Structure 1
Amino acid sequence: MASSRDRQRQLARAKLDRQTARRTAHARRRRQIRAGVAGGIALLVIIVGALWMGGVFDKKPTPPAAIGDCTWQPNTAPTVKDVGTPPTTGMAKAGVAPTVITTNLGAISAELDVAKAPCAAESFRYLASKKYFDNTACHRLSQEQMFVLQCGSHNAEGTGEPGYTYATENLPQAPVPDPAASASPSPAVTYPAGTIALVNKGANTNGGQFMIFYKDTPASPAYAIVGKVTKGLELITKAAEAGAVNASGAKVNDGKPKNDIIIQTLTVAKPTESAT
């Protein structure tokens, strides 16, 4: 039978064995952690090195578009004529662009206001360079409320447009409505004779169609002004005297010009200072 002293020696040995086992296990875990950390660091160094070799850290962020640059939105209507889109940057933003609209009635000179409507002027320049307006009929003459000749529809039906639209610029400033007049009509502005304005189907839907006011006209301030006629407005005024007709040939106040008005060519020159 084991003595009390032997029993104590056995317990002390067992305690020492447990302590040794715990220290061994702790040491093993520390070695595993250190190995894992070292492996992670090595992997990170490899990844960073690969990215650096690939030039990732040398790439500069793409600068945002400059203020005033133009955005051309796709026009998916079935009646579009795809001639591409103008550039989004680099367009002129100052001065006026001399423009000549050569018609079967004679030449009409105009100025596009590049400073106030740079995107509209750029669209005109681009479409003119693609001969988009050449040999197209001005399809609408209005002699009722609005005194305008409308042109720029490539199919002469009022639905022909290029394959893009763009935002509205240079709207005329509407007068402040009188708060005391509860039933007053919507404020109107006067478009002076000779004004060239864009035709739209709602806000920011400008395309290739435009209208020339041949008389001072009070109208809604919804039409962006792109320029003005400087010479030849009398050609339109004289053509308006013949009136407009509908599809049956009957005289109307708003319809197709009775006497055809054809744009043979439209050219836009580089911007210069206004001569008027």
Structure 2
Amino acid sequence: MRVRLTMTPTLCELGRVKRFLTLGLAAPLALSACAVAPTQPTGTTPTGSTVSCSYRTTNQPAKPVDPPSGADVPATGTAAVVLHFAAGDVTITLDRAAAPCTAHSFESLAQQGWFNDTACHRLGTQGVHFLQCGDPTGTGRGGPGYWFDDELARTVTPYPAGVVAMANSGPNTNGSQFFIVYEQTNFPAAYTQFGRIDAKGLAVITALAAGGTDDSERAGTGRPLADTRITSASIG
């Protein structure tokens, strides 16, 4: 199946862009963010077991939140964040070695309550199998008011079931939106894979996906019909 990747600008007066990932006739996966143009990315600077990360200010966050510190970010081992869905708990094991800046940001957002009382706003069930979350506005355009760089060295394709990756609107535009793959899907290696969920969490996501979508974008892609609310998130 041929993968076609295009960049389509929308709402240019607000500086918003959308990225579309289309697999054959399947619905496009719009991994979007809303922010001003990024500054030149600096990447990560290894310093033994830690790295330095750059979290670049963009626009106003969708809800109050502070960027994490970019100094002495752990770059070994793992951490765990539990997303407490209305449908059940989903534990994400964050891979600090593979994506230290991403894991650090995700953990910081969870600690600050960013994911509390939010709903996963986008679901793909035909050709692409994902649940997209992390936007408090539920529009696909909300973000935390900062961007950070891609960490793609360990991103593998096809994306296996259970992998968690960052949504973006182009290179080095990671914010808060992420997606969980619940069935192997041929996405390109353009999205930072930073964690995985276990079999129990995968069962929760698969059950939510079974509820289908409203097909608001095209058949098999749109807003989930099931209750995808994340009531809260906790560390460990």
The answer as to 2:235 corresponding to 1:252 is: no
Q: Residue 244 of structure 1: SS of its match in structure 2?
A: coil
Identify the residue that residue 55 of structure 1 maps to in structure 2.
none
Identify the residue that residue 16 of structure 2 maps to in structure 1.
none
Count of paired positions: 188
The answer as to 2:202 corresponding to 1:233 is: yes
Whether the 8 Å contact between 1:171 and 1:222 is mirrored in structure 2 is: no
Whether the 8 Å contact between 1:243 and 1:252 is mirrored in structure 2 is: no
The answer as to 2:132 corresponding to 1:123 is: no
Identify the residue that residue 5 of structure 1 maps to in structure 2.
none
Deviation per residue, 1:227-255 (Å, 9 max, x gap): 000132111111211210045xx983100
- Report the Cα offset of residue 116 of structure 1: 1.0
TM-score w.r.t. structure 1 length? 0.64
Identify the residue that residue 162 of structure 2 maps to in structure 1.
194
TM-score w.r.t. structure 2 length? 0.74
Amino acid paired to 2:186: P
Identify the residue that residue 176 of structure 2 maps to in structure 1.
208
Whether the 8 Å contact between 1:193 and 1:213 is mirrored in structure 2 is: yes
Match of 2:88 among 106, 110, 134: 106
Whether the 8 Å contact between 1:197 and 1:211 is mirrored in structure 2 is: yes
Greater share of helix residues, 1 or 2?
1
Amino acid paired to 1:109: T
- Report the Cα offset of residue 90 of structure 1: 2.3
The answer as to 2:57 corresponding to 1:74 is: yes
Q: Residue 73 of structure 2: SS of its match in structure 1?
A: coil
Amino acid paired to 1:71: S
Greater share of strand residues, 1 or 2?
2
Match of 1:92 among 74, 77, 80: 74
Amino acid paired to 1:70: C
Amino acid paired to 1:239: L
- Percent identity among equivalent residues? 35
Structure of higher CA gyration radius: 1
* Runs of 4 or more consecutive aligned structure 1 residues displaced over 2 Å after TM superposition: 65-68, 78-82, 170-174
Match of 2:190 among 222, 241, 245: 222
**Stretches of structure 1 lacking an aligned partner (at least 5 in a row):** 1-64, 175-188, 270-276
